[in-house]
Amino acid sequence: MPRTDLVVIRKFPTKFDAEMAKSALEAANIDAMIRADDAGGVQPGMWLGNGVELLVRAEDAERATEILTTRPHSDSKGTLG
């Protein structure tokens, strides 16, 4: 992903949920990345309680949010905030 302003568009309770949303965005040609405080994968449970963040370019945020809102995998009970 080129260097640009990134914004968090959604937080998920698990990495799996975040990966599913990331896949949906990438299928729509929107670059996305996941951020979780897990010490680079060394301590996978560190992010528990903080959620897993899904980030996109600022200019893609509105479209990405729309895509996640209309996709079946992104129901309101699956997000953290």
The correct CATH number of 6-74 out of 3.40.50.720, 3.30.70.1530, 1.10.287.3510, 3.30.360.10 is 3.30.70.1530
Q: What's the predicted TM-score (pTM) here?
A: 0.71
Position 3 scores a pLDDT of 62
What does the pLDDT look like over 19-58, one tens digit per residue? 999 999 999 999 999 998 765 555 555 555 678 899 999 9
Burial of 60 (0-12, 13-18, 19+ CB in 10 A): buried
Hey, what long-range contacts does 72-75 have (CB within 8 A, 24 or more apart)?
Answer: 73/17, 73/20, 73/21, 73/24, 74/10, 74/21, 74/24
Return the domain boundaries, the chain. Answer: 6-74
Quick check: 74 and 68 in contact, CB under 8 A? yes
With 60 as the cut, is the pLDDT of residue 68 above it? yes
Quick check: 54 and 34 in contact, CB under 8 A? yes
